[in-house]
Structure 1
Amino acid sequence: MIDYATNAVTDLTPITALGGTVARSESFGALSLSENAGLGLASLSLRKSAEKGQEAPQVFGLPLPGVGKATAMGAYGAFWTGRDQWMIEAQGKGEVDFAAMLKSEAPDCSVTEQTDGFVAFEIASANGAGPLEALMAKLVNLDPKAFGPGQVTRTGLEHMTVFLIRRAEDRLAVIGMRTLAGSLWHALSVAARRLEA
């Protein structure tokens, strides 16, 4: 694209939250850390509380989880964020209007696009739960043994607030503000590197 005021060529190449043209990925011994640049996110909330008669819909065939829980089915996932509120995830939908897709599934709910506001990092362990739980113990103030698969929490990680989703015994997702992507990657990678040493 040409900026006619300056005759300069503007580069409109899409970049990830970490500033690359491809998602960043790195391994630290048994742990691998990767940027999930293709994750679509949209928030969903009931317009009336469940007590006033609005029931939580099933979106993409996915029942919405209760307090502190996360669910997943195929490419879609959901996690609880507050009373009558959820974040809906869609793998591979980071470049489309995911909120419009979700709104068609839940027309009576309030839906807001969140993809560009957040960054998601996926952490996997090749040696079971041990290395992942050791990493969690270094980073967040919660008991990793009590934070099992299918659970979600919002917590502090260094100076940032993040969502942690325990996807499986050996997999954890960390979702934080996109503006803090570099700081979050640094915190995760430094802690993982120290465990490797």
Structure 2
Amino acid sequence: MTDLRPFTALGAVTPGSASFGALDLRENAGLALASLAVRRGTVEPTPFGLTLPEPGRWVAGQRVAALWTGQGQWMIEAECRAELDFAAELKQVTPGCSVTEQTDGWVGFEIISRAGSMPLEALLSKLVNIDPADFGPGRATRTGLEHMSCFVIRRGDAHVAVLGARSSAGSLWHALETTAKRLEEQVT
């Protein structure tokens, strides 16, 4: 029998990672994703104890998080559960809602600044049409990044995540890496 090994969205056995000055980029290959939509007549749930966020917001609980994606719709994240049937778990705790597995359709990249928010905000200002001053922790939005549509999530003062289409993983990584590299060159 053939020896089958899983590959990450970037096509490698191990998740991609790189550092440029104070910025670290990391492919989050363990991130499980499922979309949640409230059906008409259904009470808004609190999956895994999360109070679902309002428009433009992201909330985190214990190893799960949610971001608003549309009226009555959210993307639910679960750390280190990409290889499990997370959508089935979510469906069990959200009766009457529509749940769709999203893990294999998306790629997540984590961007962490080791020097506070300044390098992160400089990176964001070059990549997306978001005002970094108004995009503090707990904020999330869908925006364009070069020619790709993605979600940008402000997980903390020095931590941003970018979720994009898995089919565009290489292009998205290239955009993040190129911009981070240029910012590093400007500083040195």
User: What TM-score comes out, normalization by structure 2 length?
Assistant: 0.97
Residue in 2 aligned with 1:5? none
Residue in 1 aligned with 2:138? 150
Structure-2 separation of matches of 1:13 and 1:37: 14
Equivalent residues in 2 for 1:43-122, closer than 5 Å? 43-48=35-40, 53-122=41-110
Aligned residue for 1:185, secondary structure, equals helix
Determine what percentage of the aligned residue pairs are the same residue. 60
Given that residues 42 and 97 in structure 2 are in contact (C-alpha distance below 8 angstroms), is that contact kept between their aligned partners in structure 1? no
Equivalent position amino acid for 1:174 in 2: V
Equivalent position amino acid for 1:89 in 2: E
Structure-2 separation of matches of 1:56 and 1:134: 37
Residue in 1 aligned with 2:171? 183
Structure-2 separation of matches of 1:123 and 1:56: 31
Structure-2 separation of matches of 1:196 and 1:115: 32
Offset, 1:12 = 1.7
Q: Where has structure 1 moved over 3 Å in runs of 4 or more?
A: none
Aligned residue for 2:48, secondary structure, equals coil
Aligned length in residues = 185
Structure-2 separation of matches of 1:123 and 1:185: 11
Residue in 1 aligned with 2:30? 38
Given that residues 32 and 78 in structure 2 are in contact (C-alpha distance below 8 angstroms), is that contact kept between their aligned partners in structure 1? yes
- Structure 1, unmatched stretches of 5+, are 2-9
Is residue 2:19 matched to residue 1:27? yes
Please identify the structure whose Cα radius of gyration is greater: 1
**Post-superposition CA distance 1:29-68 (Å, at most 9, x none):** 10000000000000000111xxxx4321001111110111
RMSD: 0.8
Aligned residue for 1:60, secondary structure, equals helix
**Post-superposition CA distance 1:142-185 (Å, at most 9, x none):** 21111111011000000000000000110000000000000000
Equivalent position amino acid for 1:24 in 2: G
Residue in 1 aligned with 2:159? 171
Structure-2 separation of matches of 1:68 and 1:138: 20
Residue in 2 aligned with 1:13? 5
